[in-house]
Chains A and B, each alone.
Chain A
Amino acid sequence: AQKITQTQPGMFVQEKEAVTLDCTYDTSDQSYGLFWYKQPSSGEMIFLIYQGSYDEQNATEGRYSLNFQKARKSANLVISASQLGDSAMYFCAMRATGGFKTIFGAGTRLFVKA
């Protein structure tokens, strides 16, 4: 069975500083993908970044980077130079390669302070 664990219900970060949101996962699949989504208060889900389980390099997308440690089964999201607009819920998710279903973690609410 697949499982995503996000242990930080809420995080605070000062504007312009970096923040790491934790995500650990469990799966019996050999090949899988890990995702991070942002959900602002308006509710839409915004895809941020993707990491394949066989990707040797950590994924980066602008200010977002994914710290992937396969042996530890962790896929932490790092947001650099936080902005006020980064305040939102962040969800870590996983899907088996070739599969359709995506499972989500409980989420972390990020608050960026001015």
Chain B
Amino acid sequence: GAVVSQHPSRVICKSGTSVKIECRSLDFQATTMFWYRQFPKQSLMLMATSNEGSKATYEQGVEKDKFLINHASLTLSTLTVTSAHPEDSSFYICSAPDRGVVGYTFGSGTRLTVV
């Protein structure tokens, strides 16, 4: 079945640094990628939608300059957390629609800890 490979699975970074998270679709073309954020014991909150070849669409309240999203190709979307702070610590997960998968395909998630 469709697979979205997400890396890294865990990352610890220092305050003020930037972290890049990659989601790569395997065996299918992901023209759209959804980026979610999940705080402990809470639901998934949609942050933004990236589309290959165009600017990402951010949800209300999400800082575009802090969470840079790039959809460089039909198989790769990246989320860069810039100038990370401890409050950015969270679980980030991506999801892509594939024609053959009604439930969409999720990456395995990235647990970011900013110290």
Contacts and interface: CB of A to CB of B under 8 A. Distances in A.
- Give the secondary structure class of B's interface: strand
Interface size class of B (residues with CB under 8 A): 20 to 34
A112 B59 CA distance: 36
A45 B93 contact: yes
A107 B43 contact: yes
Contacts, number: 49
A50 interface: yes
Interface residues on A, range: 20 to 34
A39 to B, nearest CB: 9
Interface stretch (A17-25, A70-78, A80-88, A97-105): A97-105
Interface of B: 32, 34, 41-44, 46, 49, 91, 93, 95, 97, 101-104, 106-109, 111
Interface of A: 33, 35, 37, 42-45, 47-48, 50, 91, 100-107, 109
